[in-house]
Amino acid sequence: MAGLGLAGWAALWLRRGLSPLPYPNEHAQLRADGPFALIRHPIYTGLLVACGAGAAASGNRRQVVVFVLLSALFRVKSSVEERALRDRFTGYDDYAAATRRFLPRLRIR
């Protein structure tokens, strides 16, 4: 549920900029707030958490294989998406340098 919650929060945060394609649509904005302040791809992370938890809970090898394949797909898709975002938004390099791709930075005090 946490993974789906994260993915849903991020999808709502993007509003009309949400797209299934790895290229920003005409409504896209560079979002570095909300869930995007934690990680660059919170929708992918949320879906991977949900899929990984489901695979682990089921113990089904096929679901584990699907999780591994989905992880690889999101790795490739996020790379393509980031190239497109770099081309579109001048501040993307700074954002990417400060924010990890899939897992947030641990801040231990």
Per-residue pLDDT reduced to its tens digit, 24-46: 999 999 999 999 999 999 999 99
CB 77, CB 37: distance < 8 Å: no
Domain holding 85, by residue range, is 2-15+31-98
Percent of the chain with pLDDT over 70: 100
**Does residue 21 lie within any of the structural domains?**
no
**Does residue 68 lie within any of the structural domains?**
yes
**Does residue 104 lie within any of the structural domains?**
no
**Does residue 6 lie within any of the structural domains?**
yes
Mean pLDDT value of segment 66-88? 96
The confidence band for 106, taking pLDDT boundaries of 50, 70 and 90, is confident
Residue 53 has pLDDT above 80, yes or no: yes
pLDDT at residue number 108: 73
- Sign of CA pseudo-dihedral 56, 21, 32, 9: negative
Q: What pTM was estimated for this model as a whole? A: 0.91
Residues 6+ apart with CB under 8 A from 42: 6, 7, 9, 10, 35, 36
**Does residue 40 lie within any of the structural domains?**
yes
**Does residue 108 lie within any of the structural domains?**
no
CB 1, CB 15: distance < 8 Å: no
Number of domains in the chain: 1
Q: 86 — phi, psi (to 5°)?
A: -60, -40
Distance CA 58, CA 44 (A): 21
